Amino acid sequence: MVDHFKLLMRQAVYTGLDLVFPPYCVHCGRVGSLICPRCLTTISTSEPRDLPLLDHIWIAGKYEGAIRDAVHALKYGGVQRAAEPLGDLLAEAISRQGPCIDVIAGVPLAAGRLQERGYNQAALIARRVAERLGVADVPDALARIKATASQVDLSAAERRENVKGAFAAEARRVRGKRILVIDDVLTTGSTMSACAEALRMAGAAQVFGGAIGGAGHGTDG
């Protein structure tokens, strides 16, 4: 109820701002929204993915076109509001299957990255998905306990090794619960798997994954 109210308030403020500074589509530049209705129709579905330790994974779309541009705007362009249409896309994909989820948590960002960017894009997406699905957003359910190198240039095996033991879950937040872990891009899934391992160790009953874009190697994820 409270979250719903906050969402409505934020929308009212943004609607006001939109009248003064109308957003542009991140992909085609059309005025009106960050992902315009036409570009929304061009988003293609990503290959379904399976990872050990995860009960199911939802991916909003293939990491290309409008999705890629919106994720870039969010991660590198300082456009925090891009988390909203992206979170909506993911929430829509998840709600179609109506799973039962108790807690939503974004993948924690490495401390250096967080300082550099000023916000965690996965946490912003998680907050939006939580609002849309009416589920508790628990940003501190997961923590990063080990510094890791960027995954961009690493092979699948190196990525697994890089993030192994990098996360810890807060048992009192997750024990016996059904947890949905949110990340921006799913590449090899090594980050998502490392989070799932930490959550299982802390007693999570079920672990699900949600990502905006599904990508091949060569991207950070």
Q: Which residues bind Zn ion (CB under 5 A)?
A: 25, 27-28, 30, 36, 39
- CB of residue 119 to Zn ion, shortest distance in Å: 24
- CB of residue 15 to Zn ion, shortest distance in Å: 20
Which of 74, 67, 71, 72 lies closest to 42 in space, CA to CA? 67
Which residue type, as a one-letter code, is found at position 62? K
Residue placing its CB nearer to Zn ion in the complex, 27 or 128: 27
Note whether 213 and 71 are within 8 A (CB).
yes
Note whether 71 and 184 are within 8 A (CB).
yes
Residue placing its CB nearer to Zn ion in the complex, 30 or 113: 30
- CB of residue 43 to Zn ion, shortest distance in Å: 11
Residue placing its CB nearer to Zn ion in the complex, 66 or 174: 66
Written as six digits, the tokens of 154 are: 């690493």
- CB of residue 82 to Zn ion, shortest distance in Å: 13
Residue placing its CB nearer to Zn ion in the complex, 82 or 181: 82
Residue with the two structure tokens 């009953």: 205
Residues 6 or more apart whose CB falls under 8 angstroms from that of 126 comprise: 87, 104, 105, 106, 137, 139, 182
Residue placing its CB nearer to Zn ion in the complex, 68 or 144: 68
Q: Compute φ and ψ for 24, nearest 5 degrees.
A: -110, 150
What CA–CA distance (Å, rounded) separates 13 from 135? 23
- CB of residue 18 to Zn ion, shortest distance in Å: 16
